[in-house]
Amino acid sequence: MELPRVPLILLAAWALAAAAADVPAARSPGCATTCGDIAVPYPFGLDPQCAINAEFRVNCTTVGGATKLFHGTLEVIRFSVPEGKAWLKTFISRQCYDQATATVFYNNAWMNIGNLPYVLSADENKVIVLGCRSMAYMLSDTYIIGCLSTCDEPLRNGSCSRTVGCCQADLPRGVRYYEGFFNSFYNTTAIWRQTPCNYVTVMEMAAFNFSTTYLTTRVFYDADDSRTPVVMEWGITRETCQQAKINRTAPYACVSDHSDCVDGDAGYRCRCSDGFRGNPYIQDGCKDIDECLDNVTYPCAGICENTLGNFTCSCPRGRDMVNGVCVKNRRSTWMAPVVGASVGLVALVIGITCAYLVRERRKLHRVKQRYFRQHGGLLLFEEMKSQQGVAFKIFSEEELQQATNMFEAQQVLGHGGHGTVYRGVLKSGVVVAVKRCTTIDEQQKKEFGREMLILSQINHKNIVKLLGCCLEVEVPMLVYEFIPNGTLFDLIRGDHTRHISLNTRLRIAYESAEALAYLHSCASPPILHGDVKSTNILLDGDYTARVSDFGASILAPNDKSQFVTVVQGTCGYLDPEYMQTYELTDKSDVYSFGVVLLELLTRKKAFNLEGPEQDKSLSMVFICAMKENKLEDILDDQIKNDENMEYLEEIAELARQCLEMSGVNRPSIKEVADKLDRLRKVMQHPWAHEDPEELDRLLGEPSVVNSAGTTGNFSMTNKAAMGLESGR
C-alpha cells in the first residue's frame, strides 16, 4: 500500500534517531564497542565475556592495513539492534569465457551460516543473475531457485525487473546455506566476445542497480573484490519467544524494562516497546523517548509534555485544540453564544472526524476491491453463484486474520518455496490450513480467479480439499482442509524402529499416484502439481494418502505463450529437464514422484546437504546402485526379504523409469498408478505366486515404456540437478 509522503519522511527521521540511539553498551565494562568505525552493539561482542553467547562473538582484525570486522569468516558491514539485522558480504559466482585458452571457467561461491545466528532476509535480498543467455541457480538447504536472463531486447540501465541482461528471483524464508551454480544449457559461443561473463549472487535488493557495463566489463565482479552486500536477520537462539521465556538453561535475552520479544525466521529477538528506544538486551537499555525534543517526528503545536512511553500535547488556558492547532476558546469572553458555538464546534469536530473515518474506510474498501478485481474475484463470484452446491468459499481478510491469530508465528505449520502455511480455526470451529503465498506476477494475478474456479472443483478422496481463498489482499491466500496426522516424510523419517510394511508403502504410493493422475486428467490444460515430495503427501488417520499443496502449480504458470523465467523447486525432487527448458510438464511431476518411490523403498532422505557430493541426492545414489546391480544395498532392511525381493525390483524398475532424464521416456502418472495397483493386487493374492501365468497377467507388460538409450546426457544434467555443475 502507498504511504503518504510525510510519514515516510518521519519514518526516515525516526530511523536516523534510532540509529543514533543505538549506542553499543555491552554488559561488562571494558568491552570494546567499535571495530574501526563499525559499531559492535551488545548482544554482539569482540571478547567471549562481551557477547551474549558464543554465536555472537565477532572478530576485529587488521587486514592489509585496514581494520575489518568478521563474523566467522564473513565480513560485517553493519549491525542494527532495532531492526535485528546485520549487513554482511557474500561472494559472487561467475561463469566466464577465457579467450586465451578458449575455455569456460567457473568460480562457484557458497555461503554456510549454519553455525552463526543468522538467516538470509527473504524480504530484502534477491537472487540476482546477470548475463546474456545466463541460466543460473541458487541451491539452498532445501530449495533450488533460478532464473533466466537473456539479451533479446535492448539493454537498459536501472532495475532488474525486465529479465533483459539480468533477472531476479525471490528467496524462500529461513535460508542458512546457499551455493550459486550455472546451467550450461545454452550455446553461448556466439556472444562470449561481447559479454564474457555470467554472474549469480544473493544480495541486498536496494543495493543493486543494473548497468550495461556489468555485462561488458569486469566492474560488477571487481567493484568489491567479488563480493556483494547481503542482509541477514538474526535471532538470539532458534527458539520462539514462548520457548525462550520458559527455557531455564539459557537466560532470556529481553532483560530491559519496556522491551518486547519478537519471533522471526532466525529465532527470537528483542525490541524496545513503543515510545522507548535503546538496547533491549541490557538492563535498563530501553530509555523513554523525550518526544517533546523532536517536534519533527512528534509535532505538537501546543504545550508538549513528556510522559513515560508517550507524550501529551495540550493548549494553553483559553485555547482549544482543533485539527492539531490551538484556537482561541471564545467561551470565556462571551457567555451568551457559548452554548451554540460550542455545540457547533463539537458538531464540526464530530463531522470532520466522521468524514475522515468514512473516507479512510472507503479507501481501504477500494484497495480491497481493487485486489479482488485484479485477482479475478468477480468472475469467480459470478460462477460460484451459478453453480449450486460447490463447497467453496471466498474468505475475507479479517476472517483469516482471526482464524490464524493475526498470522502468529506459533500457528506456522511449515514454510514452503511458495509461501507459509498457518494453522487456523474458523468461527465455525473447523480447523483449516491457510496458505499465504510470497509473491505472484501480473499475469498470474489475472488468472487467479479462473484457476481457483478449476481448483475448487477438484474432488478426490486422496487430495486435500481446497475450501476457499481470499482475494482482497495483495497476494491471494488459499484455505485448505487440515489433515492432522503428519506427512509421509514424518512417517518415513520419524521413528526408525516403527515398522511400515511393504503393503502400506505400496498403498500410499498407489494412492498418491492416483491423486496426481486425477489432477493431470481432470482439467484441460492439466493441473500440474509442481512440487511433489514426501512432505506434500499428508496422511489421514488410517494412513490414507492425501496429496496437498497442488495450488503451487498455479504459481508456476505453464502457459506456453508466456515464457517462464523463474524456476523453483525442492532439492532432490526437481526435474532436471525442467531446469533446462523452464517448462513444467506432467512428466516433471512423474520425475518427482519417482523420488518419492525411492524414499518409500529406502527410507532415506531425498537430498542430503551433508556427506560426499555423489551421495547428496537419493536419485543419484539409486541410479548408481541400479547400474552396478547393487539395489539391495540401498533398500530399507525392514522390507528387504526374499519374499519381497521380486516386488521390490519391480518398484525399483518403475522408479528408474520415472527418473529418466528425458520427459518423453518417462511413463505417465496414470501408467505408474496402474502398475502400482497391479503390484498391490499380486501381493494381496499370493496364490498368483505359484501360477507364473497369472502373475504375468496381473503384472502386465514387464516394462511400461521402452527406456533404451536415454542415459547419454545423464551425468551432466544430474550434476546440474545437484548443484555441482561447477567445473571445479
Ligand X SMILES: *[C@@H]1O[C@H](CO)[C@@H](O)[C@H](O)[C@H]1NC(C)=O
- Residues interacting with ligand X, by CB under 6 A? 59, 61, 70, 155-157, 187, 189-190, 207, 209, 211-213, 237, 239, 243, 247, 249-250, 274-275, 295, 299, 309-310
Give Cβ neighbours of residue 41 (< 8 Å, ≥ 6 apart): 22, 23, 24, 25, 26, 33, 79, 81, 279
Q: Provide DSSP, 61-124.
A: EEETTEEEEEETTEEEEEEETTTTEEEEEEEPEEEEEETTTTEEEEE--EEE-TTTTEEE-TTT
Contact 162, 153 (CB under 8 A): yes
Q: How far is CA 96 from CA 102, 189, 207, in A?
A: 10, 11, 24
Q: Which is nearer to ligand X, 249 or 388 (CB)?
A: 249
Residue 45 pairs in a beta bridge with 57
81 near 269, Cβ under 8 Å? no
Q: Rounded to whole angstroms, what are the CA distances from 448 to 214, 453, 535, 608?
A: 37, 9, 25, 35
- Residue 398 CB, nearest approach to ligand X (Å): 22
Q: Are 75 and 91 in contact (CB under 8 A)?
A: no
Amino acid at 457: Q
CA-angle at 180, arms to 176 and 181, nearest 5° = 145
Helices (H), 320-376: 338-374
Catalytic residue check, 531: yes
Q: How far is the CB of 109 from ligand X (least distance, A)?
A: 18
Q: Are strands 103-107 and 566-570 parallel, antiparallel or unpaired?
A: unpaired
CB of 691 to ligand X, least distance (A): 54
Cell numbers 482543533 correspond to 322
- Smallest distance, ligand X to C-beta of residue 243, A: 5
Residue 67 vs 310, nearer CB to ligand X: 310
Residue 189: CB minimum distance to ligand X, A: 4
Q: How far is the CB of 67 from ligand X (least distance, A)?
A: 12
Specify the long-range contacts of residues 299-303, CB closer than 8 Å, at least 24 apart.
299/324, 301/325, 301/326, 302/326
Q: How far is the CB of 207 from ligand X (least distance, A)?
A: 5
Q: In this complex, which beta carbon is closest to ligand X, that of residue 6 or of residue 708?
A: 6
The Cα-based distances of 205 to 21, 175, 237 in angstroms read 26, 16, 27
The C-alpha cell at 644 is 519381497
For ligand X, give the closer residue by CB, 301 or 626: 301
Q: Point out the catalytic residue in the list 22, 531, 549, 589.
A: 531
- For residue 559, the SS3 value is coil
User: In this structure, are strands 466-470 and 537-539 parallel, antiparallel, or unpaired?
Assistant: unpaired
Grid coordinates representing 642? 526374499
Q: How far apart are CA 417 and CA 172, in angstroms?
A: 5
Helices 618-627 and 586-602 sit at what angle, rounded to 10 degrees?
A: 70
Measured from the CB atom, the residue of 174 and 309 that comes closer to ligand X is: 309
Whether residue 435 is annotated as binding a ligand: the answer is yes
Give whichever of 299 and 700 is closer to ligand X, judged by the CB atom: 299
Shortest distance in whole angstroms from residue 213 CB to ligand X: 5
Cell of 663: 520427459
Q: Which residues are catalytic?
A: 531
Q: Binding site: residue ranges?
A: 435
Q: Output the known binding site for ATP.
A: 435
